[in-house]
Structure 1
Amino acid sequence: MITPVRRDWNPSELFSALTPAMFSAEPSAIRARWDKLWPDLYTEYDARHLKQELAARNLIATDEAAAFLSAWVIDEERHTNGFIRIIELVANGSEKHLRERLGARSHDFGPITDYLKDEFSLLVMIAFDEMCTCRAYAAEKPFYDALGNNTFHHWLREIIADEAVHSMNAVNVIRARYRDRIGQVGAILDSLIRACDNLRYSGTFVLDYFGTAYSKELLANSRLATMRNIVKPLPA
């Protein structure tokens, strides 16, 4: 059985030397930071709800996918904890208040039911989604530059690397267990991209393609990268 690649880092350790006093700013700047970081936080947090939905639908059929998702949800919790700490540092947030707000949000998986038909479709969607997120985070470097501390560059590198690993872990399960369905991947990705024009994000973790980073070019490039990774020649 293939096992997921894992990365080992800790946002609490990463941010241990920083304090909110180091990032004081005018109220308008604080609000702008909050507006930028809050969606990043809640979309990462929503991984737990997707995992619960998959369990409720009894969608996971293979040991490889189960291992991937168990590792993935731990990483997404790490990202959640990191974004909470960043909002505490730069946007006048408190962990208690943030977790209360996160817990009060609703989640509707109805709009993405077509992509929750089986494990294969799910894995294709996650492989693509994590590739999109990897590239969207890479586009956020100017925001973190403006905060004025190199620790945030380290943070950005870590989460980008995590998202890339998640995409490849999903790809590896597809290539190991669904070789006979690889020909269907392109149509699924095209359907996902078309759906982006009409879907409103409803707390599902996947398809959270709002904000300026998620351009048509980013989606198209992410499709190409995901396809390339899935259809590359299999080892002899």
Structure 2
Amino acid sequence: MITPVRRNWSPKEMFNALTPAMFSAEPSVVRARWNKLWPDLYTEYDARHLKTELSVRNLITTDEARAFFTVWAADEERHTDGFIRIIELVANGSERNLRERLEARPHDFGAINDHLADEFSVMVMIAFDEMCTCHAYAAEKPFYTELRNDIFHHWLREVIADEAVHSMNAVNVIRARYRDRVGEIGAMLNRIVSGIDDLSYAGTFLLDYFGVVYTKELLDKCRVAILRNVEKPLPAIERDRWSHRPN
């Protein structure tokens, strides 16, 4: 069975030496920081809602996908914890208040039903979505530069690397389990990209493409990257594991 990659790092350890006093600022600056970080936090937090929805719909059916989602969900919780700590440090937030607000937010998967047809479509969506998030976070480096502490750049690099690994882990499930359906992916991604303007985000984790960084160019770049990655052969060690997998 394909084993998903998981990276080992801790935002708690990373931010341990920082205090809110280091990042005090005028109220308008603090509010701007909050407005930037709050959507990043709740979209990461919403991963738990997606995982629950997939379970309720019984869409995850293979061992490979189940292993993927176990690792993925743990990483998304790590990102949630990290963003909570950053908001505590730079935007006058408190963990208790933030978690209460996160829990109170509604989520509705009705708008993306067409993209949740089966495990294959879910894995394609995840592979694309994580690639988009990877590039979107990379475009946010100037925000973290303004906080004037290199630890935030370290944080950003770790999160970007996680998102890239998530995308490739999802691609590996597709290449191992759904090689015969790779030809469908181009049309699927075209439908996703062409329908973005008609969607409003509803706490689904997927398709959270709001904000200035999510340009048409970024989405097209990620679509091309996914199409390229799914065409690659599995690494030899994973191919050997798959070929010897018992029926």
TM-score using structure 2 length: 0.94
Q: Residues 28-43 of structure 1 correspond to what in structure 2 (within 5 A)?
A: 28-43=28-43
Which deviations, in whole Å up to 9, do the C-alpha atoms of 1:105-130 show, x marking residues without a partner? 00000000011110000000000000
Q: 1:194, CA displacement in angstroms?
A: 1.1
Q: Secondary structure at the match of 1:155?
A: helix
Q: 1:233, CA displacement in angstroms?
A: 4.0
The code of the aligned residue for 2:231 comes to: V
Q: Secondary structure at the match of 1:61?
A: coil
Measured in 1, the distance between the counterparts of 2:83 and 2:166 equals: 18
Q: Residues 115-134 of structure 1 correspond to what in structure 2 (within 5 A)?
A: 115-134=115-134
Is 1:206 matched with 2:213? Answer: no
Task: Kindly indicate whether the alpha-carbon contact (under 8 Å) linking 2:127 and 2:171 is maintained by their aligned counterparts in 1.
Answer: yes
Which deviations, in whole Å up to 9, do the C-alpha atoms of 1:58-110 show, x marking residues without a partner? 00110000000010000000000000000000000000000000000000000
Query: Aligned residue for 2:76?
Result: 76
The code of the aligned residue for 1:14 comes to: M
Query: Aligned residue for 2:227?
Result: 227
Choose 132-141 or 187-196, whichever is displaced more: 187-196
Measured in 1, the distance between the counterparts of 2:51 and 2:195 equals: 22
Q: Residues 170-181 of structure 1 correspond to what in structure 2 (within 5 A)?
A: 170-181=170-181
Q: Secondary structure at the match of 1:210?
A: coil
Query: Aligned residue for 1:148?
Result: 148
Measured in 1, the distance between the counterparts of 2:65 and 2:233 equals: 21
Is 1:90 matched with 2:90? Answer: yes
The code of the aligned residue for 1:173 comes to: V
Measured in 2, the distance between the counterparts of 1:61 and 1:174 equals: 13
The code of the aligned residue for 2:5 comes to: V
Is 1:108 matched with 2:101? Answer: no
Measured in 1, the distance between the counterparts of 2:61 and 2:24 equals: 49
Which deviations, in whole Å up to 9, do the C-alpha atoms of 1:160-214 show, x marking residues without a partner? 0000000000000000000100000000100110121110000000100000010
Query: Aligned residue for 1:25?
Result: 25
Measured in 2, the distance between the counterparts of 1:223 and 1:233 equals: 18
Is 1:14 matched with 2:35? Answer: no
Measured in 1, the distance between the counterparts of 2:198 and 2:235 equals: 39
TM-score using structure 1 length: 0.99
Query: Aligned residue for 1:45?
Result: 45
Is 1:139 matched with 2:139? Answer: yes
Query: Aligned residue for 1:58?
Result: 58
The code of the aligned residue for 1:119 comes to: E
Q: 1:225, CA displacement in angstroms?
A: 0.7
Measured in 1, the distance between the counterparts of 2:52 and 2:169 equals: 20
Measured in 1, the distance between the counterparts of 2:99 and 2:234 equals: 44
The code of the aligned residue for 1:145 comes to: T
Cα distance change of structure 1 residues 47 and 235 upon mapping to structure 2, 3 Å threshold: closer
The code of the aligned residue for 2:54 comes to: L
Cα distance change of structure 1 residues 66 and 42 upon mapping to structure 2, 3 Å threshold: same
Q: Secondary structure at the match of 1:37?
A: helix
Task: Kindly indicate whether the alpha-carbon contact (under 8 Å) linking 2:12 and 2:82 is maintained by their aligned counterparts in 1.
Answer: yes
Q: 1:232, CA displacement in angstroms?
A: 2.1
Identity of aligned residues (%): 74
Is 1:163 matched with 2:163? Answer: yes
Task: Kindly indicate whether the alpha-carbon contact (under 8 Å) linking 2:172 and 2:234 is maintained by their aligned counterparts in 1.
Answer: no
Measured in 1, the distance between the counterparts of 2:234 and 2:135 equals: 26
**Structure 2 unaligned spans of 5+:** 237-247
Q: How many residues of Structure 1 are paired with residues of Structure 2 in the alignment?
A: 236
Measured in 2, the distance between the counterparts of 1:133 and 1:32 equals: 21
